[in-house]
């Protein structure tokens, strides 16, 4: 079995290096050879120019294709893996086109695992752990009202006036600001066309409690099924969202005013200027905060309430974001190698053994990981 790791961008390196250092056979594919050599050339010489046809000619049954390339490559590479009897891993959200490959993957005995990075990824593990904990608790009652929130954000460790910094061209961040979201608030579906219309305050129960600005992103509602929620549970709140430093909405108000209607060309101009004005300095630490909370109430009174928290920042090992995205990907690769995940298309596992093992690794990657019991 050869691991074909495609893409050596900023968030790919720690996990890739971990697999090579562990002695796994890894072929590195990147669009620019020099960048790949800079990232892992001290560990391996098996570095090739990424070309899907060249990859296909080299791919064998039971190999693993890892896509850390831009999102439009994930489905073609997953299709190629299924065609050749190889497996597939990516950190990205499962697109409908990826989900549609499930029956083909099952028929071929192929594992296609996605959403195994930071967010999505570690947040899924935390959610699965909390749901399982609640279901096994004496407080469990199918009639309890459930409130679930999952917030994650990458922010500068040393706050700047703009309340945000960029590691790469921020066009994607700006386009995401134009994406609608769907969540549940106070037992009702909440549809928001622009995130800045739904910014609220969140008090994070970190080692030192801290408040942030948060907003819902994407479509949260399908994740109730992903997290094994009972369809009979009354859902008061269910939100998966993004976390930002306090003052972010004020600092970004001019961006919001233009981003909603700007052309792609204008968005690129804005992004270029933002990167020029708000890029991370060499060696400057980033910070990643994640808080996943599950609350059960009976007649309006909390009967079970826990929050899984994580706080991490850049250090001598590099950026927190790179560690927390790519090392879980490498753990997923090893789970595929060990046949610890089922065939078909899936997201981060709900298996308690895998969750425990992966979260033990996250404890090392982050400076602070804790489950807070509020009762």
Residue-level pLDDT at 206: 96
The pTM for the full model equals 0.95
Residue-level pLDDT at 175: 81
Residue-level pLDDT at 44: 95
| Mutual angle of helices 352-365 and 320-337, in 10-degree steps | 150
Phi, psi angle pair for 337, to nearest 5° = -55, -35
Residue-level pLDDT at 170: 83
In what helix (H) or strand (E) does residue 173 lie, and over which residues does it extend?
Answer: helix 171-176
| Residues whose CB falls within 8 Å of the CB of residue 301, separated by 6 or more in sequence, listed in order | none
Residue-level pLDDT at 177: 83
Residue-level pLDDT at 350: 95
> In 3D, which of 285, 308, 319 has the Cα closest to residue 363?
308
Residue segments in the chain with a per-residue pLDDT below the cut of 70? none
Residue-level pLDDT at 200: 95
Look at the alpha carbons of 66, 72, 77, 78 in this order and tell me if their dihedral is positive or negative: positive
Residue-level pLDDT at 173: 82
Torsion, CA 31, CA 34, CA 39, CA 43, rounded to 10: 110
Residue-level pLDDT at 96: 96
Residues in a beta bridge with 301: 298
Residue % of the chain over a pLDDT of 90: 88
In what helix (H) or strand (E) does residue 78 lie, and over which residues does it extend?
Answer: helix 74-84
Residue-level pLDDT at 257: 85
Structure tokens at 4: 């074909």
| Mutual angle of helices 122-135 and 352-365, in 10-degree steps | 130
């Amino acid at each position: 079995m050869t691991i074909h790791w495609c893409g050596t961008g900023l968030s790919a390196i720690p996990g890739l290096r971990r697999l090579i250092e562990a002695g796994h056979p890894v072929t590195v594919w990147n669009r620019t050879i020099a960048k790949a050599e800079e990232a892992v050339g001290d560990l391996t010489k098996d570095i090739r120019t990424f070309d899907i046809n060249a990859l296909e000619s080299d791919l064998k049954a039971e190999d693993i294709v890892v896509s850390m390339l831009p999102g439009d490559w994930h489905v073609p590479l997953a299709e190629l893996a299924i065609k050749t009897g190889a497996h597939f891993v990516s950190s990205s959200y499962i697109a409908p086109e990826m989900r549609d490959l499930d029956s083909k993957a099952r028929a071929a005995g192929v594992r296609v695992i996605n959403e195994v990075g930071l967010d999505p990824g570690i947040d899924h593990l935390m959610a699965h752990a909390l749901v399982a904990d609640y279901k096994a608790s004496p407080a469990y009652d199918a009639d309890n009202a459930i409130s679930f929130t999952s917030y994650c954000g990458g922010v500068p460790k040393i706050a700047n006036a703009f309340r945000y910094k960029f590691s790469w061209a921020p066009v994607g961040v700006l386009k995401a600001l134009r994406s609608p979201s769907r969540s549940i608030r106070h037992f009702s579906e909440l549809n928001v066309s622009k995130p800045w219309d739904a910014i609220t305050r969140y008090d994070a129960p970190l080692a030192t409690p801290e408040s942030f600005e948060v907003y819902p992103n994407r479509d949260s509602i399908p994740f109730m099924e992903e997290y094994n929620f009972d369809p009979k549970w009354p859902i008061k709140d269910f939100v998966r969202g993004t976390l930002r430093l306090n003052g972010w909405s004020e600092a970004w108000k001019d961006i919001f005013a233009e981003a909603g209607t700007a052309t792609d060309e204008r968005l690129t101009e804005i992004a270029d200027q933002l990167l020029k004005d708000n890029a991370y300095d060499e060696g400057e630490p980033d910070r990643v905060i994640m808080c996943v909370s599950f609350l059960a109430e009976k007649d309006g009174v909390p009967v079970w309430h826990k929050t899984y928290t994580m706080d991490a920042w850049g250090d001598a090992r590099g950026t927190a974001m790179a560690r927390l995205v790519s090392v879980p990907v490498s753990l997923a690769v090893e789970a595929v190698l060990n046949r610890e995940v089922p065939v078909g298309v899936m997201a981060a596992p709900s298996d308690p053994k895998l969750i425990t093992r992966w979260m033990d690794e996250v404890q090392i990657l982050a400076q602070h990981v804790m489950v807070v019991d509020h009762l």
